[in-house]
A = this chain, B = another copy of it.
Amino acid sequence: MEISDEDKKFLELYSDSIYEKPSVTVDAVILRLVDKETNNYRKLPEKKLQVYLLNRKYPPFKDKFAIVGTFIDLNNELAKTMKLCVESKVGLENFYYEQLYTFGEKQRDPRTRVLSVSYMLLTNQSKLHGGEWFDIDLNNGKIKLESFENGYRSEREVGIILTSGDTVLKNNLIVKSEKKGIERVSEVEVVNSDIAFDHIKIICYALNRLKNKLEYTDIIFNLMKEKFTLTELKNSYEVILGERLLDANFRRKTASLVLPLNEYTQDKGHRPSQLFKHNPNWNKDNLI
């Protein structure tokens, strides 16, 4: 990408303020999986999915919880800015991340026009600081489907309850999808939300992305500890997918994703279980 002489001349004269500019933030939906406490010595702990939120110290949305983010730095790459932000604000390093979507609705920030380039972060670390882990309780309502001759319209209520100790944050969304011949509209509407900005929409987007990627990637291992039993892995899938899986089939399907170790769990009140680790050489599509 060589720059022509004419371009060089132009650039010397160029003023970068001729177009209005928006503010831009990078925002991170930080997710992890943890064990629910259990009092039964036999029972294995169930897993729960959590998101890390910060209580906002300044307006707008002072005292509301929000996902981690910052205004971008023009001298850094977007992802770099996001990483620095996450490291400095909550102390998280070395994590899996991917860009999700850029949210830019006109009214999403009461201050001014602000675009949010959002990221999903997955971790198995717990010791973050500055905020709180919130349990995610996702409740997909029944889908309402209306069919016409040349298409359909679907609508579903989605409830997301975020809980950390006594703090319970309720959020309700409506996910709409309409299809009429070639026309096609998808929309997520926030009915009510106890967290800042449109962040519940971003969280919802991340949860969907994660769920979809479980099927065809090995993304889940970013949420696992290094060593785990297959039942732990199965529970993890179940929590994210929101459905129960059959044990025998699960073991076969995931066989290529994991490597068996010569270690076993003990002291569990039931038969010991073999430990596994992620098979980093699992390929599939990458080999094509």
Known: A14-B111, A181-B280. 14 other contacts (CB 8 A): A1-B197, A3-B110, A14-B112, A16-B23, A20-B74, A21-B24, A22-B72, A74-B113, A76-B106, A94-B183, A102-B117, A152-B280, A179-B280, A182-B221
Size category of the A interface is: 35 or more
State whether A11 and B106 are in contact (beta carbons under 8 Å apart), knowing that A62-B6, A96-B182, A180-B280 are contacts in the complex: no
Q: Which residue of B lies closest to A124 (CB)?
A: B182
Chain B residues with Cβ under 8 A from A288's Cβ? 143
Q: Write the nearest CB–CB distance from A278 to chain B, whole angstroms.
A: 8
Specify which of B58, B62, B143, B286 is in contact with A287 (CB 8 Å cutoff).
B143
Q: Which residue of B lies closest to A280 (CB)?
A: B151
Chain B residues with Cβ under 8 A from A222's Cβ? 182
Chain B residues with Cβ under 8 A from A76's Cβ? 106
| Inter-subunit contact A7/B110 (CB<8 Å) | yes
As for how many copies of this chain the complex holds, the number is 2
- Residues of A in contact with B (beta carbons under 8 Å apart): 1, 3-4, 6-7, 9-11, 14, 16, 19-24, 58-62, 71-78, 94, 96, 99, 101-102, 104-106, 110-113, 115, 117, 143, 145, 147, 150-152, 154, 177, 179-184, 190, 192-193, 197-198, 221-222, 278, 280-281, 283, 286-288
Q: Write the nearest CB–CB distance from A20 to chain B, whole angstroms.
A: 5
Chain B residues with Cβ under 8 A from A281's Cβ? 147, 151-152
| Inter-subunit contact B62/A4 (CB<8 Å) | yes
State whether A102 and B105 are in contact (beta carbons under 8 Å apart), knowing that A11-B60, A183-B94, A280-B150 are contacts in the complex: no
Specify which of B59, B71, B96 is in contact with A10 (CB 8 Å cutoff).
B59
State whether A145 and B287 are in contact (beta carbons under 8 Å apart), knowing that A60-B3, A179-B280, A190-B1 are contacts in the complex: yes
State whether A77 and B105 are in contact (beta carbons under 8 Å apart), knowing that A59-B11, A94-B182 are contacts in the complex: yes
Chain B residues with Cβ under 8 A from A4's Cβ? 59, 61-62
